[in-house]
Chain A
């Protein structure tokens, strides 16, 4: 699963441009399930289990990541861009980017030329431009097209039991789902690899309509604030303490029975101790006549940055918990 995550995080898939990740996933799950790709680009993967499920269950993970979209080119060949999804400006400043195969860097005024006031506050993100080395607008437009996406590059590496990579949100969910599909399943389920989560939960909405589930599990990465300078009560969740399960966030009031079943499962997991953030559950639980939904989230530091950090064991336990809930709901043990 870790090798799969490494490969997935090396791919670039800013919202609306998920092709590379979609092709990779289709290749990895071929032969293990029936797949269709819907008009928006979601993968719907129907997995046959040994037994029929009592409830139709959908598992979701989103393929897209935050990034930039090229919006215009200056006369001297610098690319102007807009953010796709929520990115802090500090994450953009002076970073290497990739636009397809093209290298670029996000530039800015050097520290030496900044006034006292300028040094203290972040620049307006609209001021940031990408330098691809082009000497003119014409040269730049021969290399890139308006609307192309740019990603901040970030290398995968091990830091003890922690892995650091870009786009762990939500390739970690994709890696878990791929792994579940590749293994023998006890009950039928539908796995959805969704598009456009970062720009407003759009892919999951149409996927949930098509799949028409009675229960859903959203596999995600969520903010872990267990870092220096943050008090205990503000840490939300902690690396290495198991996946986080939410009772409520900014998009969803989660199914209480599923939430309690998760905490009582015996599998290491922790309540997400904040009402913050949101994920595809927001779209899925309101689909059609409503869907009972829970999110299982791998705690992740520095979410939406090229240096996401997550714990290897949390990923394993998130998968265990997903399987436990899937089988519990499908068998009728969890009601």
Chain B
């Protein structure tokens, strides 16, 4: 499997609300290697049997930040609401796609210069209308509840860096697909469930029913975390290309973190540590308190410009995440601990 091509295809496919393209694509790809099924919403689940009953769940979320139409006016301007968090200051004149009766291009209104007096308030999305250019015709094609997505195409940067939308968390999704390819046909010491979960951006929603169903003993949420860049202090971010970040937090299970670090050292896989003071903001938070409790950890890919169309990652971090997860699972996780 070509990691970059697969990631680009996943980045371009939509995964939000009723838009299932990313989920469909991931399911088809997963089925090339292992049996996989649809779960609730966009969720996709694959079970790889093992020699023991110790069950490890590996999760990445398939959904993306998006918006939803709340009003269509007579002049063809739309009011939208957030489905996930993003920076409103960057919206004026930004092109997006409205998924109405057909895919409709639209542009966020920008205040014309002669009316731009003083500081604008960028905290209320309902004040920044979306322009379809269709005038009164817009009402025929767009209805409240229609999903709106950002539309930038993925691009290659220097070295092994790539940029695009929804790399949060398609970078994690592509790790799980590559992992399926590597584990397919191998005898596993424990049972492995690969979960591509829905609804993370809406508050870690989709992973709850998934974790309930899987009933894992331990779990790793493969997501993205803040990458280095100008204006960001090195203490609060990871370095792109320096390997996945193993999470340490009071909300995470120390044994899993330690074991991941031990495996990385044994196999010379580059890694970084990410220490969080409390909750991690990832699906690991929700999985950890599923049913009677699950030993959970995070493994995160450093990513610049999170929740924008210009998210940047290094492909080597994806490769090393896959390598670390493969070694970890073949070692049986913390089954012996």
Binding site for B on A (CB under 8 A): 74, 76, 78, 86, 88-91, 93-96, 102-114, 119-123, 127, 129, 131-135, 139, 143, 154-155, 157, 159-162, 164, 223, 225-230, 234, 236, 239, 274, 276-277, 301-303, 305-307, 309
Contact A112 B306 (CB under 8 A): yes
From residue B313, how far is it (CB to closest CB) to chain A in Å? 10
Contact B229 A131 (CB under 8 A): yes
Contact A135 B241 (CB under 8 A): yes
CA distance A276 to B117 in the complex (A): 14
CA distance A120 to B305 in the complex (A): 18
Tell me if B5 counts as interface (CB < 8 A to partner A): no
Tell me if B40 counts as interface (CB < 8 A to partner A): no
The 10 A-B pairs with the shortest beta carbon distances in the complex, nearest first, are A133-B157, A305-B93, A133-B158, A159-B133, A162-B133, A133-B161, A105-B310, A228-B129, A228-B77, A93-B90
Known: A132-B158, A307-B107. 11 other contacts (CB 8 A): A86-B113, A95-B310, A108-B305, A110-B226, A111-B306, A112-B85, A113-B232, A121-B89, A121-B119, A123-B89, A307-B93
CA distance A252 to B94 in the complex (A): 32
Contact A103 B155 (CB under 8 A): yes
Contact A96 B308 (CB under 8 A): no
Contact with A along B119-162 (1 / 0, CB 8 A): 11111000101011111010000000000000010011111010
A107-B309 contact, Cβ under 8 Å, with A96-B163, A120-B123, A164-B133:
no
Closest to A103 in B: B155
A107-B304 contact, Cβ under 8 Å, with A93-B89, A133-B312, A135-B241:
yes
A103-B157 contact, Cβ under 8 Å, with A74-B230, A86-B113, A309-B107:
yes
Tell me if B75 counts as interface (CB < 8 A to partner A): yes
Contact B131 A113 (CB under 8 A): no
Tell me if B37 counts as interface (CB < 8 A to partner A): no
Contact A230 B115 (CB under 8 A): yes
In the complex, chain A residues whose CB is within 8 Å of the CB of B92: 88, 90-91, 302, 305
Contact A88 B110 (CB under 8 A): yes
In the complex, chain A residues whose CB is within 8 Å of the CB of B114: 223, 225, 234, 236, 274, 276-277
Contact A104 B89 (CB under 8 A): no
Closest to A142 in B: B158
In the complex, chain A residues whose CB is within 8 Å of the CB of B90: 90, 93-94
In the complex, 30 of the A-B residue pairs with CB atoms within 8 angstroms, ordered by the A residue number, are A74-B230, A86-B113, A90-B90, A94-B90, A96-B163, A104-B157, A105-B157, A105-B163, A105-B310, A106-B310, A107-B230, A108-B87, A108-B229, A109-B232, A113-B236, A120-B119, A122-B122, A131-B163, A157-B105, A159-B133, A159-B134, A227-B129, A228-B75, A230-B115, A234-B114, A276-B113, A277-B114, A302-B93, A302-B110, A309-B107
CA distance A89 to B152 in the complex (A): 19
Contact A131 B304 (CB under 8 A): yes
In the complex, chain A residues whose CB is within 8 Å of the CB of B158: 102, 132-135, 139, 143
**Interface SS of A by simple majority:** loop
Tell me if B188 counts as interface (CB < 8 A to partner A): no
In the complex, chain B residues whose CB is within 8 Å of the CB of A90: 89-93, 110
Contact A78 B229 (CB under 8 A): yes
From residue A49, how far is it (CB to closest CB) to chain B in Å? 37
Contact A307 B94 (CB under 8 A): yes
CA distance A225 to B85 in the complex (A): 29
In the complex, chain B residues whose CB is within 8 Å of the CB of A96: 152, 155, 163, 309-310
CA distance A93 to B226 in the complex (A): 17
From residue B159, how far is it (CB to closest CB) to chain A in Å? 5
In the complex, chain A residues whose CB is within 8 Å of the CB of B161: 133
Closest to B95 in A: A307
Contact A159 B132 (CB under 8 A): yes
Contact A225 B115 (CB under 8 A): yes
Contact B312 A131 (CB under 8 A): yes
From residue A273, how far is it (CB to closest CB) to chain B in Å? 11
Closest to A157 in B: B105
Contact with A along B290-309 (1 / 0, CB 8 A): 00000000000000111111
Contact B231 A230 (CB under 8 A): no
Contact A120 B121 (CB under 8 A): yes
Tell me if B3 counts as interface (CB < 8 A to partner A): no
CA distance A105 to B305 in the complex (A): 10
CA distance A74 to B120 in the complex (A): 30
Contact A110 B152 (CB under 8 A): no
In the complex, chain A residues whose CB is within 8 Å of the CB of B115: 225, 230, 234
Contact A105 B312 (CB under 8 A): yes
A164-B93 contact, Cβ under 8 Å, with A96-B155, A105-B163, A129-B230:
no
From residue B81, how far is it (CB to closest CB) to chain A in Å? 16
A160-B133 contact, Cβ under 8 Å, with A113-B236, A223-B114:
yes
From residue B158, how far is it (CB to closest CB) to chain A in Å? 3
From residue A86, how far is it (CB to closest CB) to chain B in Å? 7
